[in-house]
């Protein structure tokens, strides 16, 4: 296709492709391995249908937050306020429902609207006044945690009615059937099969596109392996879910959001602009990208997702507490970096962030099942984050030498 390839570059390019795929698979393999280790250690408690269900319910809000955090991280920044915003927005929703008997959809919208306003507020300082996002969000972490305590009077607000809690703890319509003495839910099984078909279709399309554009097409074995692993993972989850209560409502919310953000980052102009701003702010600005606008909307987006996570968490707990969402920002940030997002920005994927969040989730869940204390859990999570980023950097420096 191109003339006069320089031999050193050729080698370099192959190496790069190789490492890139290794990194992508590496994370998924790490997830499977960690899950397997805890399976053995917990006497397979963590693969029980109920626990798989819990795993998803417990981690849904971390994934929601990680999606927003990914955009912040892609620009080389973070949002430290999300945990506090989760608490505050959840508190307002709970107060509206419990104290003022307001309509539940209204309360939910109000919580998300609060996230939106927080986003405008932070975006204003970041993009209009040029205050570093780290500082702005650190300050607001304190502000909104404080406000959550104030509006709740330091008390737990609840219980919330079932119509509210089902967002975090409810299920999609259930169609049970019995196969060989075991009860299965059909919608979950169907969803798994449909998703598998979609994965196969996407891989075929991607191979066709690569061939059409003259790019190197991965070997059939590699594709089969990749598709095979993905299909097994998907169906593992859906089969387990179908053996319990079917598809959690919150899983649907997460799935829609993941699809949306994957599309946003891969296939839209705003997505590409975010990568460019993270990769080189000055070059992005001189290419016509309004860097300040991009930053503004990234933090508005994060605010909305934090509001939504607040609703989900409050619903799952059936009450709002001032301590809700404590350290969630750290889980979300860790998910992004474990998922291979570059610390200076400009590099990172939705898949990575989701897998990162799942790794954190599987760790949390596994350690809880084993009865490890919260203190030890923190130590382990910290070490995993450190190890993930160090390994990532190690591979990068190897590539450069």
Partner 1 sequence: MDNILEMRHITKDFSGVKALDDVNLVVKRGEIHALCGENGAGKSTLMNVLSGVYPYGTYTGDIVYNGQVQKFSDIKASEKTGIVIIHQELALIPLLTVAENIFIGNENLMYGGKVIDWEETQRKAAEVLKSIGMHENVNRKVVDLGMGQQQMIEIAKALAKNAKLLILDEPTSALNDEESNTLLELLLKLKKQGLTSIMISHKLNEVSRVADSITVIRDGHTIETIERDHGTPIDEARIIKGMVGRELTNRYPERHAQIGEVVFEVKDWTVHDEDDPTRERLSHISFNVRKGEVVGFAGLMGAGRTELAMSLFGHTYGFESQGHIYKDGQEITMPTVQSAIDQHIAYVPEDRKTYGLVLIDDIKWNMSLASLKSRFSKKGILNPDAEIHAAEDYSKRINVKADSLTQRVESLSGGNQQKVVLAKWMLSDPDVLILDEPTRGIDVGAKYEIYTVINHLAEAGKAVVVISSEMEELLGLSDRIYVLNEGEIAGELQKGEFDQEAIMRIIMAHSARRETA
The footprint of partner 1 on residues 128-157 (CB under 8 A) is: none
* Residue 218: other Cβ atoms inside 10 A: 16
HSE, CB side, 13 Å, CA atoms: give it for residue 315.
28
The footprint of partner 1 on residues 64-103 (CB under 8 A) is: none
Residue 345 CB, shortest distance to partner 1, in Å, is 9
Does residue 15 touch partner 1 according to CB under 8 A?
A: yes
- The end-to-end CA distance of the chain, in Å, is 28
Q: Which stretch binds partner 1 (CB under 8 A): 8-16, 35-43, 232-240, 380-388?
A: 8-16
The footprint of partner 1 on residues 258-317 (CB under 8 A) is: 267-273, 275-276, 279-280, 282-290
Q: Which stretch binds partner 1 (CB under 8 A): 6-14, 230-238, 326-334, 353-361?
A: 6-14
What are the beta bridge partners of residue 179? 182
Question: Given the structure tokens 């930053």, which residue do they identify?
Answer: 295
Q: Cβ closer to partner 1: 129 or 267?
A: 267
Q: Cβ closer to partner 1: 288 or 371?
A: 288
Residue 223 CB, shortest distance to partner 1, in Å, is 18
Query: What Å distances lie between residue 347 and 80, 249, 278, CA to CA?
Result: 20, 31, 8
Q: Cβ closer to partner 1: 4 or 178?
A: 4
Residue 339 CB, shortest distance to partner 1, in Å, is 17
For residue 134, give both structure tokens. Answer: 């780290």
Parallel/antiparallel/unpaired status of strands 182-185 and 176-179:
antiparallel
Total interface residues for partner 1 by CB under 8 A: 45
Residue 131 CB, shortest distance to partner 1, in Å, is 20
Does residue 206 touch partner 1 according to CB under 8 A?
A: no
The footprint of partner 1 on residues 320-379 (CB under 8 A) is: 342, 346-347
Does residue 397 touch partner 1 according to CB under 8 A?
A: no
Which of 7, 173, 180, 181 lies at the binding interface for partner 1 (CB under 8 A)?
A: 7
Does residue 24 touch partner 1 according to CB under 8 A?
A: no
Which of 9, 21, 155, 162 lies at the binding interface for partner 1 (CB under 8 A)?
A: 9
- In Å, the largest CA–CA distance within the chain is 73
For residue 234, give both structure tokens. Answer: 């998907």
Q: Cis link prior to 140 (omega < 30° from 0)? A: no
Rounded-to-integer distance, Cα 114 and Cα 119, Å: 8
Q: Cβ closer to partner 1: 180 or 288?
A: 288
Are the beta carbons of 91 and 152 closer than 8 angstroms?
yes
What are the beta bridge partners of residue 182? 179
Q: Cβ closer to partner 1: 1 or 220?
A: 1
Are the beta carbons of 355 and 27 closer than 8 angstroms?
yes
Rounded-to-integer distance, Cα 396 and Cα 373, Å: 35
Rounded-to-integer distance, Cα 225 and Cα 213, Å: 23
Instruction: Tell me which H or E stretch contains 184.
Output: strand 182-185
Q: Which stretch binds partner 1 (CB under 8 A): 161-169, 207-215, 295-303, 379-387?
A: 207-215
Residue 1 CB, shortest distance to partner 1, in Å, is 7
Q: Cβ closer to partner 1: 6 or 220?
A: 6
Does residue 202 touch partner 1 according to CB under 8 A?
A: no
Rounded-to-integer distance, Cα 115 and Cα 136, Å: 15
Does residue 215 touch partner 1 according to CB under 8 A?
A: yes
Residue 346 CB, shortest distance to partner 1, in Å, is 5
Taking the alpha carbons of 239, 242, 244, 250 in that order, is the dihedral positive or negative? positive
Does residue 11 touch partner 1 according to CB under 8 A?
A: yes
Does residue 209 touch partner 1 according to CB under 8 A?
A: yes
Rounded-to-integer distance, Cα 2 and Cα 46, Å: 52
Q: Which residues bind partner 1 (CB under 8 A)?
A: 1-13, 15-17, 209, 212-216, 267-273, 275-276, 279-280, 282-290, 342, 346-347
């Amino acid at each position: 296709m191109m003339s006069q390839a320089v031999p050193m570059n050729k080698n370099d390019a192959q190496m790069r492709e190789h490492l890139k795929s290794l990194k992508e698979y590496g994370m998924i393999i790490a997830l499977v391995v960690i899950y397997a280790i805890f399976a053995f250690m917990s006497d397979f408690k963590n693969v029980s249908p109920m626990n798989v269900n819990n795993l998803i319910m417990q981690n849904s809000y971390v994934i929601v937050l990680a999606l927003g955090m990914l955009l912040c991280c892609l620009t080389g920044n973070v949002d430290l306020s999300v945990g506090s915003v989760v608490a505050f927005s959840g508190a307002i929703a709970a107060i509206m429902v419990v104290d003022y008997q307001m309509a539940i959809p209204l309360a939910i919208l109000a919580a998300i609207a609060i996230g939106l306003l927080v986003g405008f507020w932070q975006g204003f300082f970041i993009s209009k006044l040029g205050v570093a996002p780290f500082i702005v969000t650190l300050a607001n972490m304190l502000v909104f945690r404080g406000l959550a305590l104030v509006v709740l009077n330091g008390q737990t607000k609840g219980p919330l009615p079932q119509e509210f809690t089902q967002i975090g703890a409810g299920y999609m319509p259930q169609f049970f059937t019995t196969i060989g003495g075991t009860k299965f839910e059909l919608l979950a099984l169907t969803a798994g099969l449909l998703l598998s078909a979609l994965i196969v279709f996407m891989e075929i399309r991607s191979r066709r596109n690569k061939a059409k554009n003259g790019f190197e097409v991965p070997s059939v074995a590699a594709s089969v392996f990749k598709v095979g692993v993905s299909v097994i993972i998907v169906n593992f989850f859906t089969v387990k879910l179908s053996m319990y209560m079917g598809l959690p409502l919150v899983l649907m919310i997460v799935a829609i959001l993941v699809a949306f953000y994957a599309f946003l980052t891969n296939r839209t102009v705003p997505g590409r602009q975010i990568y460019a701003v993270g990769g080189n702010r000055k070059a992005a600005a001189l290419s016509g990208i309004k860097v300040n606008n991009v930053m503004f909307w990234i933090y508005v987006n994060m605010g909305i997702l934090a509001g939504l996570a607040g609703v989900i968490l409050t619903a799952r707990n059936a009450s709002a507490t001032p301590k809700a969402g404590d350290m969630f920002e750290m889980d979300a940030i860790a998910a992004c970096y474990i998922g291979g997002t570059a610390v200076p920005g400009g590099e990172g994927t939705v898949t990575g962030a989701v897998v990162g969040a799942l790794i954190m989730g599987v760790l949390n869940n596994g350690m809880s099942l084993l009865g490890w204390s919260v203190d030890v859990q923190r130590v382990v999570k910290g070490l995993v984050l450190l190890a993930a980023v160090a390994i990532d950097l190690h591979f990068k420096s190897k590539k450069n030498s």
